[in-house]
Amino acid sequence: MSIALDYAKRLISAPSVTPATGEVFDVMEAMLKPLGFDIHRFTRGDGEEGSDEAPVENLFAIRKGPEGSRHFAFAGHLDVVPPGDGWESDPFEPTTQGELLYGRGAVDMKSAIACMVAASHDIPADAGTISFIITGDEEGPALHGTRALIDYMRGQGIQPDLCLVGEPTSVNRLGDMMKIGRRGSVNIWLTVEGTQGHVAYPHLADNPIPKLVAMLKELDELMLDTGTDWFQPSNLEVTDIEVGNKAHNVIPAEARARISIRFNDLHSGHSLSERVAAIAENHGGRALPIISGEPFLTAPGAFSNMLAKAVEEETGVTPEASTTGGTSDARFLRSVCPVIEFGLCNATMHKRNEAVAIPDLDALARIYTKAALGAFTLKTTQEEA
């Protein structure tokens, strides 16, 4: 059994539905310690006055190279989404059938982390500094995960030069896509208040539903943009409508809805929130935004070229540089250093019977080894990365 496959099985065997703590981090620590990494684990989100949030565990591990050597960081998450029903095998019992390894997290993204650790076996300790930035809070609210790890690194004066996130970016085969950026995300809760009353006496009431419908119609018809050189067009989607009126003969006092906007670098979360708030107010409502992340781009350059070369050497495929898809913790890490995402095929992530092609594990580990070694010798500034 290859090292990458063994590590992937160990991680999958440790249930870690978000937010993750405990056993899965014990497994991660046990894999890294023999390789000479100094490991710091801590929890966030618990013990705070008035908070009922479940604790989140984070792990930062570092193996320092020679003084003045470059610092390359691997980043990812050990938490997984709930497995759901209908699996053909226990989702937390790694199962192999032919060339496939099944289990929750096989793709997103325990196997990629296993490949990162496996890659570290082949990276000489004197080649440069390697670190692991690993959270248990990526699939959840992402409030106490990577952002807390960034605070820890800054407090310790630790600054990676480049960072690779192991999200499953490949589409049809390993190596066909890497993510050099992501669109931003903002969710906005909309509320319209009225006056409750009997449906037979509408003049004594004020129905909020028509106002909400008109508001949503105007929002749905917005043309935010047509895209940019590296980003697809921004899109606004209505994701929930709620009244909760259980009586057929009552005009409700309140109507609510939620929208989600994924936006490119022509906008900011704040500018879009203000725009939506103005429309809501024109229809007698109010808007409460929560900005999940701003758009970012690691422009094509030395870093992406180096990674593309490593991928081509192992797979024969030239990865497409893309900004498509949802958000990831790269949106936080980009404030620390240039960041690119590259990992396994994403066809089964978050699905029942999630599975990874076993041959891809060793190939990915070799790509990660070459990426780290390439990063140590890459002569570039953050702006050129």
* The overall pTM is greater than 0.75: yes
Would you list the DSSP string of 38-51? EEEEEEESSS-TT-
Phi, psi of 329 (to 5 degrees): -70, -5
pLDDT of 52 reads: 59
| Three-state SS letters, 58-78 | EEEEEECCCCCCCEEEEEEEC
Round the CA-based radius of gyration of the chain to a whole number and report it: 23
Select which of 57, 137, 138, 360 is catalytic: 138
Tokens of 12: 């999958």
pLDDT of 382 reads: 53
For the sheet containing 177-179, what is the strand order?
Answer: 38-44, 56-63, 129-135, 71-77, 162-165, 339-341, 177-179, 320-322
For residues 170-192, average pLDDT: 97
For residues 375-381, average pLDDT: 80
pLDDT of 50 reads: 47
Lowest-pLDDT choice from 14-28, 33-47, 216-230:
33-47
Short-list 349, 288, 371, CA closest to 138: 349
Residues annotated in the binding site for Zn(2+), as ranges? Answer: 77, 108, 139, 167, 350
pLDDT digits (tens, 9 = 90+) for 314-332: 999 999 999 999 889 999 9
Residues annotated in the binding site, as ranges? Answer: 77, 108, 139, 167, 350
pLDDT of 379 reads: 72
Residues facing 260 on adjacent strands: 187, 237
For residues 215-242, average pLDDT: 97
Residues 6+ apart with CB under 8 A from 49: none
> pLDDT band for position 385 (50/70/90)?
low
What is the average pLDDT score of the chain?
95
Percent of the chain's residues with pLDDT above 70: 97
Select which of 23, 29, 53, 79 is catalytic: 79
For residues 340-361, average pLDDT: 98
| Residue 154 pLDDT greater than 50, yes or no | yes
CATH code that applies to domain 184-293: 3.30.70.360
pLDDT digits (tens, 9 = 90+) for 109-141: 999 999 999 999 999 999 999 999 999 999 988
pLDDT of 54 reads: 86
| Residue 281 pLDDT greater than 90, yes or no | yes
Any catalytic annotation for residue 79? yes
CB 237 within 8 A of CB 152: no
Burial class (CB in 10 A: 0-12, 13-18, 19+), 146: buried
Lowest-pLDDT choice from 36-50, 210-224, 227-241:
36-50
The DSSP output letter for 85 is S
From first CA to last CA, the distance across the chain in angstroms is 36
Phi, psi of 230 (to 5 degrees): -115, -5
Q: Which CATH architecture has domain 3-182+296-377?
A: 3-Layer(aba) Sandwich (3.40)
Phi, psi of 266 (to 5 degrees): -85, -10
Q: Locate the domains of the chain by residue range.
A: 3-182+296-377, 184-293
Rounded to whole angstroms, how far apart are CA atoms 258 and 238? Answer: 6
Phi, psi of 185 (to 5 degrees): -140, 130
Query: For 381, what's the count of Cα atoms within 13 Å in the CB-facing half-sphere?
Result: 2
| Residue 373 pLDDT greater than 80, yes or no | yes
Any catalytic annotation for residue 218? no
For the sheet containing 184-193, what is the strand order?
Answer: 235-242, 254-263, 184-193, 285-293
Rounded to whole angstroms, how far apart are CA atoms 346 and 97? Answer: 19
For residues 76-83, average pLDDT: 97
